[in-house]
A and B are shown apart, each in its own frame.
Chain A
Amino acid sequence: MNQQTPNSFRTGPDDHGRFGLFGGRFVAETLMPLILDLEKAYEAAKIDPAFHAEIAHLHTHYVGRPSPLYLAERMTERLGGAKIYFKRDELNHTGAHKINNVLGQILLARRMGKKRIIAETGAGQHGVATATACAKYGLECVVYMGAVDVERQKPNVFRMKMLGATVVPVQSGARTLKDAMNEALRDWVTNVENTFYCIGTAAGPHPYPAMVRDFQSIIGKEVREQIMAAEGRLPDSLVACIGGGSNAIGLFHPFLDDASVAIYGVEAAGHGLDVDNGHAASLAGGKPGVLHGNRTYLLMDDDGQILEGHSISAGLDYPGIGPEHAWLRDMGRVKYLSATDKEALDAFQLCSKLEGIIPALEPAHALAKVIELAPTLPKDHVMVMNMCGRGDKDIFAVAEHLGGM
């Protein structure tokens, strides 16, 4: 059984990298020594004030943190219920929350003396963030991206190339995020001595889920301070979208032990949860299994073969989810909802027109559930949604879906 004390949701993972049943280190032997090295290096960095000072400096001068907490007045007015705030991580350098995690990992790679960085990417935001940090520190950067996503997210492919990264289109499987991760793992197994694998979400073998969460927790920490300044109290609810779950856990984690805060994660329901292999909602439609180094909820068939999943959003169509979310769901601490492609597209348009903010398709899923929840709540209910990315990368894909605007 797990060693989590039931009176805190914030102490995981245990020494084996487990969040209850979930997490762990399910990797090939070749990688195992490196993963243990990484854990050691991260544990050392975590208690080193110089490491935190370096991150804080980059946050202020390179990323542009703290990101604002913005009261979405017209959205609030239109929905006629809860008071809605956006945490504006889409204003970060490179346009999403991904940079928070990447800078932490790249500083760690530098400490470990690794000169070659690899990453997987779906929407391209993590790839762009990784290419950016590698440019800044003069590191070699190779990004694996499913060939389908290379098509869907062309602007980001160009950005990565401009930044000096090599983008490798992955042709195996469904040629999306899962396959990009397989290919990155194959690269890592091959080049394990000199290479650091910069994982883009709160998943993978221990210590990645905890480490990525820690780097992303700046989001929730800032929200705590900002909402105290704005409202003089904690929020009543939090909402974030979930691909692998990094922006969500970053917002949620600092609030997990505040029982008064309701927490909602939003998975991608694609064409609908009832459509076979037509969605990417691993919690709603999956079951526990082992993939990419961790045990978590996965979309799969009866034989344990992994399904591809679908979402209009290239950042959400991953058949798994970070292990901490799997645990939080089973513990009942976080409620997981899902939004369809269509709901996300509607939210995308509404937000653009009402607030002058073009959201990425990923947070548009979170927004879709804000649009559903807010009208049912009283006007003094304070709701914070993570606007974790901007929609520049998506405008062409959206235009296509809307029949060429």
Chain B
Amino acid sequence: MTTRIDARFAKLATENRAALVTFVMGGDPDIPTSLDIVKALPKAGADVIEIGMPFTDPMADGPSIQAAGLRALNAGMTLKKTLQLVADFRRSDDETPVVLMGYYNPIYVMGVEKFLDAAKAAGVDGLIVVDLPPEEDDELCLPALKAGLNFIRLATPTTNDKRLPSVLTNTSGFVYYVSLTGVTGAAIPDYSKVGASVARIKGHTALPVAVGFGVKTADAARTIGAQADGVVVGTAIVDALKNSLGPDNRATAKTVEAVAALVRELSAGVRSARKAAAE
């Protein structure tokens, strides 16, 4: 079956450009503003939207995304309300793929079946669950695939060739290549190696490969967009949001536009990537 994610990557391939995949934390800095931000993303140039499901103990996230999760939790965000956020977004956009990203515990506590039903009904297309490696595929990955959702797996520099096939086996939608060993927001990787890493993964799969971790600027997005099928940006967007907040981390009139402005820049970077490379 074809999901919105498959359709989107196929379309971008015909346009010969990479996808801009944008991450925002669901409910950051408050639930209504978060919905406005998500709604603003496609117009600003986001091709795929990742929405973080906030969790108290985000073990693979750096300080920026940790803080975003806490802002969301303090604003009353829950997994149920994150699903509602997607449903609300879907009312005005039935094309842009939405991927939920987070940790397993809130999903497990809600109940896998119940979560998958609700996610499907809300219009979620894919899941990235950081603490579910292939060794735990029975937990959520296989039920999610059965329910018609994509399960997007991270591949990392430590995922060697021996391990890649098992990581890719039940992956669908796209492969998310984490360009460095580290938490989100960590230092910029050595971009020169990204092309080789993408090629290594493509040797094992026909799926699109998106690259993330450490992408902060339009320049970086352009460089990676020339070498990969997608460019994932998270921390930079979360930081732009944070810098627009007023006292007590409250949203200001500038908040939505601050995010949109950065996404427009990143999008311009991604869109010029192959042209720049061809010249």
Residues of A near any B CB (own CB < 8 A): 16, 24-34, 172-173, 178, 182, 185-186, 189-193, 287-293, 295, 298, 300, 302-306
Contact of A178 among B55, B57, B132, B167 (CB under 8 A): B57
Q: Does B60 lie within 8 Å of A189, measured CB to CB?
A: yes
Give B36-60 as 1s and 0s: 1 = Cβ < 8 Å from A's Cβ atoms: 0000000000000000000111111
Give B153-175 as 1s and 0s: 1 = Cβ < 8 Å from A's Cβ atoms: 11111111001000100000000
Contact of B159 among A33, A178, A185, A295 (CB under 8 A): A33
Q: Does B186 lie within 8 Å of A304, measured CB to CB?
A: no
Q: Which one of B59, B61, B66, B155 has the highest number of Cβ atoms from chain A below 10 Å of its Cβ?
A: B59
CA of A160 to CA of B157 in the docked complex: distance in angstroms?
33
Residues of B near any A CB (own CB < 8 A): 55-62, 66, 73, 78-80, 103-110, 130-136, 153-160, 163, 167, 178, 181-183, 186
Q: 19 other contacts beyond A192-B181, A193-B158, A305-B55, with CB at 8 A cut-off?
A: A25-B133, A26-B133, A28-B59, A28-B133, A29-B159, A31-B158, A32-B135, A32-B163, A33-B160, A178-B57, A189-B60, A190-B186, A289-B105, A289-B109, A291-B57, A303-B78, A303-B106, A304-B109, A305-B106
CA of A191 to CA of B186 in the docked complex: distance in angstroms?
12
Q: Does B108 lie within 8 Å of A190, measured CB to CB?
A: no
CA of A16 to CA of B66 in the docked complex: distance in angstroms?
30
Q: Given that A25-B135, A29-B154 are contacting pairs, would A290 and B59 also be in contact in the complex, using a CB cutoff of 8 Å?
A: no
Inter-chain contacts of B160 with A (CB < 8 A): 33
- Closest Cβ of chain B: how far from A185's Cβ, in Å? 5
- Closest Cβ of chain A: how far from B51's Cβ, in Å? 16
Report the number of A-B residue pairs with Cβ-Cβ less than 8 Å: 116
Q: Given that A289-B108, A290-B108 are contacting pairs, would A27 and B56 also be in contact in the complex, using a CB cutoff of 8 Å?
A: no
Q: Does B79 lie within 8 Å of A304, measured CB to CB?
A: yes
CA of A291 to CA of B105 in the docked complex: distance in angstroms?
7
Inter-chain contacts of B80 with A (CB < 8 A): 303
Q: Given that A186-B59, A291-B105 are contacting pairs, would A304 and B133 also be in contact in the complex, using a CB cutoff of 8 Å?
A: no
Inter-chain contacts of A193 with B (CB < 8 A): 158, 181
- Closest Cβ of chain A: how far from B23's Cβ, in Å? 16
Contact of B183 among A190, A288, A302 (CB under 8 A): A190
Contacts A/B (CB < 8 Å), 29 sampled: A24-B135, A26-B104, A26-B133, A27-B131, A28-B60, A28-B130, A29-B158, A32-B134, A32-B158, A182-B57, A182-B58, A185-B60, A186-B61, A186-B62, A190-B181, A190-B186, A289-B105, A289-B109, A290-B103, A290-B108, A291-B57, A292-B59, A298-B105, A300-B109, A304-B55, A304-B108, A304-B109, A305-B73, A306-B57
Inter-chain contacts of A287 with B (CB < 8 A): 109
CA of A34 to CA of B131 in the docked complex: distance in angstroms?
15
CA of A33 to CA of B62 in the docked complex: distance in angstroms?
21
Q: Given that A186-B62, A303-B79 are contacting pairs, would A33 and B158 also be in contact in the complex, using a CB cutoff of 8 Å?
A: yes
CA of A189 to CA of B55 in the docked complex: distance in angstroms?
18
CA of A32 to CA of B159 in the docked complex: distance in angstroms?
8
Q: Does A29 lie within 8 Å of B59, measured CB to CB?
A: no
CA of A33 to CA of B133 in the docked complex: distance in angstroms?
10
Q: Given that A173-B56, A173-B57, A182-B57 are contacting pairs, would A29 and B133 also be in contact in the complex, using a CB cutoff of 8 Å?
A: yes
Q: Does A304 lie within 8 Å of B136, measured CB to CB?
A: no
Q: Which one of A16, A24, A26, A27 has the highest number of Cβ atoms from chain B below 10 Å of its Cβ?
A: A26
Q: Does A304 lie within 8 Å of B158, measured CB to CB?
A: no
Contact of A290 among B104, B110, B133, B159 (CB under 8 A): B104
- Closest Cβ of chain B: how far from A240's Cβ, in Å? 27
Inter-chain contacts of B158 with A (CB < 8 A): 29-34, 192-193
CA of A290 to CA of B133 in the docked complex: distance in angstroms?
13
Inter-chain contacts of A190 with B (CB < 8 A): 181-183, 186
CA of A121 to CA of B58 in the docked complex: distance in angstroms?
19
Q: Does B56 lie within 8 Å of A29, measured CB to CB?
A: no
- Closest Cβ of chain A: how far from B144's Cβ, in Å? 16
Inter-chain contacts of B130 with A (CB < 8 A): 28
Q: Does A26 lie within 8 Å of B132, measured CB to CB?
A: yes
